[in-house]
């Protein structure tokens, strides 16, 4: 088999393979959360606001009570040194 034909066959196989993989990835089912009325599962000042359910699992935000009002939590991230 000549080199140019071999390259053409490899190129065609790569195109077919990538088309098949992208078709498979696109066809995967995406599960969307089902919205529910927001409810806060709470302790005294810390709670979890449930806003939806996805496959039976609650979806929502961590909230804290500030001046009697529930506010969404925002986390700050920082790098910590593992070794001394």
84 or 77, higher pLDDT: 77
How many domains is the chain partitioned into structurally?
2
Q: Are residues 61 and 43 in the same domain?
A: yes
pLDDT in tens, 37-66: 888 887 888 999 999 988 888 889 999 999
User: Is residue 79's pLDDT more than 80?
Assistant: no
- Assigned domain for 84 exists: no
Residue 43 within any structural domain of the chain: yes
Condensed to tens digits (0 to 9), the pLDDT of residues 7-43 reads 999 999 999 999 988 888 877 777 788 888 888 887 8
Q: Which residues pair with 73 in a beta bridge?
A: none
Full residue range of the structural domain in which residue 20 is found:
1-30
Q: What are phi and psi of 54, to 5 degrees?
A: -125, 110
- Of 83, 82, 84, 40, the closest CA to residue 65 belongs to 40
Strands 46-54 and 69-72: unpaired
Contact between residue 10 and residue 17 where contact means Cβ atoms under 8 Å apart: no
Q: Are residues 23 and 37 both part of a single domain? A: no
Residue 1: what pLDDT? 65
Within a domain: residue 60?
A: yes
The answer to whether position 79 is within a domain reads no
């Amino acid at each position: 088999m000549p080199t140019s034909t071999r390259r053409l066959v490899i190129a065609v196989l790569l195109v077919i393979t990538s088309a098949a993989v992208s078709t498979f990835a696109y066809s995967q089912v995406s599960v969307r959360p089902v919205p529910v009325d927001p409810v806060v599962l709470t302790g005294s000042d810390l709670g979890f606001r449930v806003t939806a359910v996805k496959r039976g699992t609650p979806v929502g935000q961590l909230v804290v009570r500030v001046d009697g009002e529930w506010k969404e939590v925002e986390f700050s991230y920082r790098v910590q040194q593992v070794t001394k």
